[in-house]
Amino acid sequence: MEFAERLKKVPPYLFVEIDRLKNEKLKKGADIIDLGIGDPDLPTPSEIVEVAKKALENSAFHRYPSNQGSEFFRKACANYMKRRFGVEFDPETEVSALIGSKEGIAHFPLAFVNPGDVVLCPEPAYPVYHLGTLFAGGEPYYLPLLWENNFFPDLGSISKEVLERAKILWLNYPNNPTGAVATREFFAEAISFAKRYGLILAHDAAYVEMYFEEPALSIFEVDGARDVAIEFHSLSKTFCMTGWRIGFAVGKKELVQGLAKVKSNIDSGVFTAIQYAGAYALDNLERIVPPLRAVFKERRDYLAKALQELGFELKIPQATFYLWVKVPKGFTSTDFCRKLLEELDLVVTPGNGFGASGEGYFRIALTVGVDTLKKAVERLSSFVIR
């Protein structure tokens, strides 16, 4: 059976070799420490689970959900945006529920990208920006996120010819995989750039609540964003709810409505009981999230320092639960990660899997407890000393 052209364009999965090796080791009973997975290990806070349990019994929620999301969920999203970022959105027209932010990010280009249009995608990055582009028949144009530029793209380097064909500029801060956070200045530059070249500014804010010091920014905290931007939010990492599949898109009405129109023809919304629990989570975010944040901060504090003491080079991330670390001289990303797995039973993610500019780095996810991180550091120190 031959796949369609759009599926043939999907690049090969770069973590195949690591996955194969890991599974082989697991079968042999190896004590693998897996720092590869970007999925919080903590359970969803029990009060959210309890609200969901009660909601399950509400027979009104057993029917098809509202496509764009229930009114109560969209209101909770708008209230959150107002409380946290000081910006008002109309829950009727400027908010849409998503089956996780990934779903919205993947579908968004279908609303605005024609075959041959260019979409500006950062790299290294979460792969869905460029895959959503490919599925819509668009052409990704990659914007390297480099250490020396604090992992911001160099917007000035894009040629006029590319900009004439460009439709969307994707950004993601706090950033996976680099852990970089946006500054107001950078967002202001991106907004005026989008306005100058008639681009849609699509911002993935999946990690906006996973900050350790200063609260991370929404693009809408910067003047002018409302004219050009849509922002994708996720309850996954914020509330340790990755399995529940709920997020939302918020922003300029036409952008949200374009996405909602695509979605209304593909999916039938988020299970209303989950929206009910999601609304409860958002309404109580200021109370529920700080203890979760503290757990990840403790892990970051421990591991970032321990790695630096071992001689690894990294910028201490102010947000996300990722450490983006340079591989020691003389190794490629793949070689180094394979060696850690072969010799230390340690899984980390090779940076080149997130894009060409990720070569020379590896990503660690802080999704295991400090005790396990200590074990990982012990293994690494034996390796470094050798």
Ligand X SMILES: Cc1ncc(COP(=O)(O)O)c(C=O)c1O
Question: What does the binding site for ligand X look like in residue numbers (CB under 6 A)?
Answer: 38, 100-102, 126, 172, 176, 204, 206, 234, 236, 242, 247
CA gap 360, 334 in Å, rounded: 9
Q: Which is nearer to ligand X, 236 or 349 (CB)?
A: 236
CA gap 184, 182 in Å, rounded: 7
Q: Which is nearer to ligand X, 38 or 258 (CB)?
A: 38
Q: Which is nearer to ligand X, 65 or 177 (CB)?
A: 177
Minimum distance of ligand X from residue 208's CB (angstroms): 11
**What's the DSSP call for residue 211?**
B
Q: Which is nearer to ligand X, 126 or 377 (CB)?
A: 126
Q: Which is nearer to ligand X, 133 or 234 (CB)?
A: 234
Residue with tokens 């973590």: 15
Q: Which is nearer to ligand X, 205 or 304 (CB)?
A: 205
DSSP per-residue codes, 83-95: HHH-----TTTSE
> CA separation (Å) from 362 to 32, 35, 172?
17, 11, 19
Minimum distance of ligand X from residue 247's CB (angstroms): 4
Q: Which of 218, 208, 175, 202 is nearest to 363 (CA)?
A: 175
Minimum distance of ligand X from residue 234's CB (angstroms): 3
Judge whether 57 and 341 are in contact, CB under 8 Å. no
Minimum distance of ligand X from residue 181's CB (angstroms): 13
DSSP per-residue codes, 8-54: HTSPPPTTHHHHHHHHHHHHTT---EE----S--SPPPHHHHHHHHH
**What's the DSSP call for residue 245?**
-
Minimum distance of ligand X from residue 172's CB (angstroms): 5
Minimum distance of ligand X from residue 102's CB (angstroms): 3
Q: Which is nearer to ligand X, 234 or 275 (CB)?
A: 234
Minimum distance of ligand X from residue 275's CB (angstroms): 14
| Cβ count within 10 A of residue 174 | 27
